[in-house]
Structure 1
Amino acid sequence: MPFEFSPQKLVYGGEALGYAQGRTVLVPRVLPGERVEVEPVRIAKGVVHARPLRILEAAPERITPPCRYFGQCGGCHYQHLDVERQVCWKADIVRETLQRIGKIAWDREIRIHQANPWNYRNQAQLKVMTAESGDTALGFFAAESHQLVPIEECLILSPRLNSILGQLRQPRWLGRLRGCTEVELLANDQDDRVRITLHGNPEADAPERLADDLLQQLDGVASVVILEGRGTRLYGESVFTYRVGEFKYRLSPGAFFQSSRYLLPELVKSVTDAEPGDFALDLYAGAGLFTLPLGRCFERVIGVESHPAAAGDLQANAESHGFKNIRAVRQTTSDFLRRFAQKDPDLVVLDPPRCGVGNSALKYLIDLQPRRVHYVACHPPTWARDLACLLAGGYRLEEVEMFDCFPHTYHIECLARLVRPDLASR
């Protein structure tokens, strides 16, 4: 049965939280202070998840979403709220997460980094679905479902990616994508070269012809990768690169790379900003986004990455820039820390996936006694959990920064700078 609801605050995950009928309620696309008619969708762990039916009384800060797909496509969560208000709420969420999960009362400044809130994504994962009628559509999934929302344009994708999307939506291409499950697009830093990765089995009888046609007929396509099962076939340019500042990074298919084009240089500068020293560790190093700049500041740097393609990129990127002081290690962070014996690194950079570092790996890290730790994360809850472990291990939280890399979504990039006071002066 529908009921009236007045949310109190925005929470991590893109929903508004409040209370009704003696229960905690979460509802997307509504704002604190509004009166809303909502309908329950499910109840999980005592929390009612509901969908909005009608706005009975709108908040003063509510705006008309610029995107015609907002509320259907699951990609954006906050387009009904001005960007400056989005950032304020995100900072509150970071502070609240530190307190609730990490038991860290951070009452000092959270330095906020912002950039252009539109056309900022250099990557897209477009879903492909073919109906029983044989018609094929391209778009994004709706929130919390596998229902496809076909789209003509995405306001947060770069201009080049939108151009490719528009061309792929033409019937002559959609028919040839039948058999694919996903079309992944990656644009370079200049937004003039794109790698297309096709997941699945497009044109099973002639994938080479499809790849050649994409390379020849779509503006800006540098390479095409077809992933089917465990096999990878590459057509076009064999090396795809992305420049950030003075460094050019080779990026292989399947290797992770940051998808926010505008704030990347600022993120790299903040994470790697440190006094020159003897030795630094870059854990979860990926293709070396932070490792290479660290190589300019430290006598010796070790970058640790477990993903085979990314570890290969890390090694190649260090070599192509002439670094003799950077060593790439293909290993999980936990295994590396368990076996690594050298004490007292000057700096350790952490950039883990959403699951965070975890207590066992952090115990090994604390035993190494690094003087400073810079921890950047895309998932505030596990970041706060891990920071609590580091603080219990003798570290002090000195600075917190927030990068609004993904405006209009609930996603937040956080940076914590920590120091161990008893070691910092060594």
Structure 2
Amino acid sequence: MAVAPGQEVEVVIEKPASGGRMIARHDGEVLLVAGAIPGERVAALVTRAEKRVAFADTVRVIEGSSDRRQPSGDPGCGGSLYSHIAYPRQVQLKSEIIRDAYTRIGRIPVEGEIDVVPSTERGYRMRARFHVRDGRPGFYREGTRERCDARQTAQLLDASIDAVEDAVAALQAQGIATIAVELSENMAADQRALHLDIRAARPSADAFDRAIAAAGLVGLTARTTESVFYSAGDPIVSDPLAALTAGRTTDGWLRRHPQSFFQGNRALLPALTTAVLDSVQPGATVDLYAGVGLFAVALAASGHTGITAVEGDPGSGKDLIRNAVPFYDQLRVARSSVELFLARPFTDPVANMVIDPPRTGLSKEAGDAIARSGAARIVYVSCDPPTMARDARRLIDGGYRLVSLRGFDLFPNTPHVETLGVFAR
């Protein structure tokens, strides 16, 4: 690279890149610039230069965008790298990110506008991991291990952060040092549970009960650095299926422990769930990476039959089994990794395959097996457009076509976006 760390350059910002930075060029070389908006002219300080790309931070805005706003806090805290951008423009940029991933990585042209469902910007988050330093819980700044105050992000309700701080303080007062905290709460924010990583200790019989009372929790779990596990109270939060499905069903609950995976945006959870329900056609359905059963149980509660939910994580799998019990004649649970499950041939035709993999996307084994599965329809939920686009290419090569594509802004003020793609043969 011709540019070098410490060099200040003037560039015009072209478009968003996945991950939060913006693409610019200087003397034909690509720069990934933080803190800018497409269309702006900025002065950027180069912080790192690699063979094909350099990284830079905006230090001065020369010609600003009308969409620029003052961020409420440190953009590096909680991944709030879009907090300087007016929210409607954030949503537009995320649509562009999805399209770019499909076009550039997946080599799949997408016609028409990609709709992204917007979210409320404040208090939307139901799950979070805190890191504790000197008795103070907070987030890590982007790309560092520096603790920052989670309140400034406005992602969580103040009451949620109060509960975490009160629990940590109550344990510290009893000589128990907390390393990290995982928070889980329900949509109504009237149930909160925690999982805590704590240093080796021998807590008194009521130590955790005192923390539960101090923080107003339904319960908590804890694990020491020596892998001793504790559970106190009833560490489960629950949501009525009626709320999760926007009234599509009136009976049933979805329950989960704080370490189990669950979608984290209370404002958009019903919209995402109903979008998946609307994408599934009559017939046998396999839900891969089912978690605690958000989609599988919602499908069963909505009247679908012949559902198989596959989950390999031990904790989420236990919650999935409990949530599936009321629908035992419609829903079967397979406690298995996706790869092992797909290694066995299907005995009956599969009408729908719902997949919601981790951010890394599908493994090669899983992706190849899904492409060969013969499922009539694949409903793919992803929190990472680049890995989804990579996997979509495999599906297209396997004989599928893209039917629909839309986004859900589950992570406002961050560069992340949830994407729902439907593929059919």
- Alpha-carbon offset, residue 227 of structure 1: 1.8
Give the AA of the match of 1:195.
A
Per-residue CA deviation, residues 122-171 of structure 1 (Å, 9 max, x unaligned), is 112111113xxxxx33211111111112355541113431332564687x
Q: How does 1:379-390 map to 2 (within 5 A)?
A: 379-390=384-395
2:86 to 82, 86, 99: 82
Aligned to 1:261: 266
Aligned to 1:332: 337
Give the AA of the match of 1:182.
A
Aligned to 1:194: 192
Secondary structure of 2:307's counterpart equals strand
Secondary structure of 1:278's counterpart equals coil
Secondary structure of 2:43's counterpart equals strand
- Alpha-carbon offset, residue 208 of structure 1: 4.7
Aligned to 2:100: 96
Change in Cα spacing, 1:35 to 1:374, as seen in structure 2 (3 Å) is same
Aligned to 1:393: 398
Change in Cα spacing, 1:404 to 1:263, as seen in structure 2 (3 Å) is same
Give the AA of the match of 1:200.
I
Q: Is the 8 A contact 2:236 2:258 kept in 1?
A: no
Per-residue CA deviation, residues 186-242 of structure 1 (Å, 9 max, x unaligned), is 11121011112211227x2426544222212223x1112112243321111154323
- Alpha-carbon offset, residue 279 of structure 1: 0.9
Mind listing any 5+ residue stretches in structure 1 that lack a counterpart? 131-135, 421-426
Greater shift in the superposed pair: 179-188 or 87-96? 179-188
1:308 to 309, 314, 318: 314
Per-residue CA deviation, residues 378-417 of structure 1 (Å, 9 max, x unaligned), is 1111101111111111111111111011111111100111
Aligned to 2:45: 39
Q: Is the 8 A contact 2:18 2:415 kept in 1?
A: yes
Report the TM-score, using the length of structure 2 for normalisation. 0.90
Aligned to 1:355: 360
Change in Cα spacing, 1:112 to 1:276, as seen in structure 2 (3 Å) is same
Work out the number of aligned pairs and report it.
Answer: 409
Secondary structure of 1:376's counterpart equals strand
Per-residue CA deviation, residues 17-66 of structure 1 (Å, 9 max, x unaligned), is 1112442111211112223222222223421112222223322211112x
Give the AA of the match of 2:307.
V
Aligned to 1:424: none
Aligned to 1:73: 77
Change in Cα spacing, 1:193 to 1:205, as seen in structure 2 (3 Å) is same
Change in Cα spacing, 1:231 to 1:45, as seen in structure 2 (3 Å) is farther
CA distance in 1, matches of 2:165, 2:316: 30
CA distance in 1, matches of 2:78, 2:35: 11
CA distance in 2, matches of 1:173, 1:2: 48
Q: Is the 8 A contact 1:242 1:251 kept in 2?
A: no
Secondary structure of 2:66's counterpart equals coil
Q: Is the 8 A contact 2:342 2:366 kept in 1?
A: yes
CA distance in 2, matches of 1:352, 1:152: 30
Greater shift in the superposed pair: 223-232 or 73-82? 223-232
CA distance in 2, matches of 1:399, 1:279: 21
Structure 2 residue 221 is the aligned partner of structure 1 residue 225 = yes
Secondary structure of 1:298's counterpart equals coil
CA distance in 2, matches of 1:384, 1:264: 23
Q: How does 1:202-213 map to 2 (within 5 A)?
A: 204-206=201-203, 208-213=205-210
Q: Is the 8 A contact 1:301 1:326 kept in 2?
A: yes
CA distance in 2, matches of 1:177, 1:144: 31
Structure 2 residue 145 is the aligned partner of structure 1 residue 146 = yes
Structure 2 residue 107 is the aligned partner of structure 1 residue 107 = no
Aligned to 2:3: none
Q: How does 1:259-298 map to 2 (within 5 A)?
A: 259-274=264-279, 277-295=282-300, 296-298=302-304
CA distance in 2, matches of 1:266, 1:7: 33
CA distance in 2, matches of 1:207, 1:9: 56
CA distance in 2, matches of 1:5, 1:122: 39
1:50 to 56, 61, 73: 56
CA distance in 2, matches of 1:258, 1:11: 24
Structure 2 residue 163 is the aligned partner of structure 1 residue 164 = yes
Runs of 4+, deviation exceeding 3 Å: 150-154, 165-170, 172-179, 207-210
Report the TM-score, using the length of structure 1 for normalisation. 0.89
1:183 to 181, 184, 188: 181
CA distance in 2, matches of 1:201, 1:7: 47
CA distance in 2, matches of 1:297, 1:371: 20
Change in Cα spacing, 1:176 to 1:8, as seen in structure 2 (3 Å) is farther
- Alpha-carbon offset, residue 276 of structure 1: 5.2
Aligned to 2:121: 117
Q: Is the 8 A contact 1:75 1:140 kept in 2?
A: no
Greater shift in the superposed pair: 110-119 or 138-147? 110-119
Greater shift in the superposed pair: 303-312 or 18-27? 18-27
Change in Cα spacing, 1:359 to 1:238, as seen in structure 2 (3 Å) is closer
Q: Is the 8 A contact 2:261 2:291 kept in 1?
A: yes
2:67 to 41, 58, 61: 61
Aligned to 1:250: 255
Q: Is the 8 A contact 1:306 1:333 kept in 2?
A: yes
CA distance in 2, matches of 1:28, 1:174: 38
Q: Is the 8 A contact 1:152 1:165 kept in 2?
A: no
Q: Is the 8 A contact 2:139 2:150 kept in 1?
A: yes
Q: Is the 8 A contact 2:137 2:165 kept in 1?
A: no
CA distance in 2, matches of 1:205, 1:363: 49
